[in-house]
Amino acid sequence: MEPKNQVNLPIFFSIGIPAYKAKFLKECIDSIFAQTYTNFELIIVNDASPENIDEIVHQYSDERIQYYVNIQNVGAEHVVDNWNKCLSYAKGDYFILMGDDDKMEPQYLDEFTKLIDKYPDLNVYHCRSYIINEESQKIALTRSWPEFESVYDNMWHRINYCRNQYISDFVYKRNVLVEQGGFYKLPLAWASDDISAYIAMKNKGIAHINIPLLNYRVNAQTISLTGSPKLKLKAVLLEEKWFLSFLKQVPEKDIDKIIHSSICKTKSVFFYERKVFFIVQLLNEQFMKNLLFWLINGKKNGVTKRVVYKAFLIFIKVQDSFISKLLLDYEK
């Protein structure tokens, strides 16, 4: 498949796919080559996958594809390294990171060119998304946003659980993303997409398209649904550390000051709930060992005794409910 238009121009979009799972990769690539706007390059970095990534990629002869294979697997814990490897190969003005199981709507790139033309000075842009299942059926839709907002508005909505957003529904000005050190690295890429976007929109804000342009796939292999609770807790503690540093600077605009103040009050509850959630998971893995560890070492690791006690109570309540159900089933 050859480009139909926009030929002989500097590359406008670089699309990176850090590939490991083969199951939906062809759907992902096909959706990119079905774009109505064709001035892009596609960078695929195979993370030493044991699956048939080579076979899928070699079905395409399009000159816009760059294909690389890691000698050694980066792995889920350090997956952001592979995100940044995709970025390192990019030459386009704007960069998009696609999940290897997600899909673009045909007008994805076209609509983003219009938004970029309207807000050329911004560093990051965003779109609404469909949620799809393993059969590629559209089962849900992310919420609408205002066309433009500040980083504080965006952050407030995220920590108050008002929005879902994904790495592939963001478009970055490539040179700015590179200058900020690439995607912000946290274990398992937990909150890496959020923090990377916050950094990019810090001074100029973010523009949004309310047309759903991405199909984000929910499946059993999604990182947010898998992975070590210990690593996720570590990521949450590092995320909290970043938030505390970011919020030290009070914004100048009155409206942002009010939102900033609200975030400062809300963030404690946000991170408290996240810590409790993962401590419960750790207690479920090894109850006594993890309970003693976090009671003794929690404070120096950013986890208070209040968090541990709350997690303990939730764990006991869940166990009691489970045992009660077993007894009821036995009596039947």
Domain-ending residue, one of 207, 225, 243: 225
The per-residue pLDDT for 321 is 64
The per-residue pLDDT for 75 is 85
Q: 279-310, pLDDT tens digit by residue? A: 999 999 888 999 999 999 998 889 999 999 99
Given a cut of 50, whether residue 80 has pLDDT beyond it is yes
Domain-ending residue, one of 225, 256, 281: 225
The per-residue pLDDT for 219 is 78
Do 143 and 87 belong together in one domain? yes
Do 124 and 203 belong together in one domain? yes
Number of independent structural domains in the chain: 2
Do 26 and 45 belong together in one domain? yes
Q: 149-195, pLDDT tens digit by residue? A: 999 999 999 999 999 999 999 999 999 999 999 999 999 999 999 99
Provide the CATH number for the domain around residue 158. 3.90.550.10
Contact present, 213 and 129 (Cβ < 8 Å): yes
Given a cut of 60, whether residue 224 has pLDDT beyond it is no
Domain-ending residue, one of 225, 248, 282: 225
Q: Which domain range does residue 68 map to?
A: 13-225
The gap from C-alpha 184 to its chain's centroid, in whole angstroms, comes to 11
Which residue, among 291, 332, 324, has the nearest Cα to 310 in the 3D structure? 291
Question: What are the contacts of 193-196 at 24+ separation with CB within 8 A?
Answer: 193/165, 193/166, 193/167, 194/158, 194/165, 194/239, 195/239, 195/242, 196/170, 196/172
Given a cut of 60, whether residue 7 has pLDDT beyond it is no
Higher-confidence residue of 322 and 128: namely 128
Q: 308-323, pLDDT tens digit by residue? A: 999 999 988 887 664 4
Q: How far apart are CA 15 and CA 167, in angstroms?
A: 12
Query: 98 burial class (0-12, 13-18, 19+ CB within 10 angstroms)?
Result: buried
Contact present, 6 and 53 (Cβ < 8 Å): no
The per-residue pLDDT for 254 is 97
The per-residue pLDDT for 222 is 58
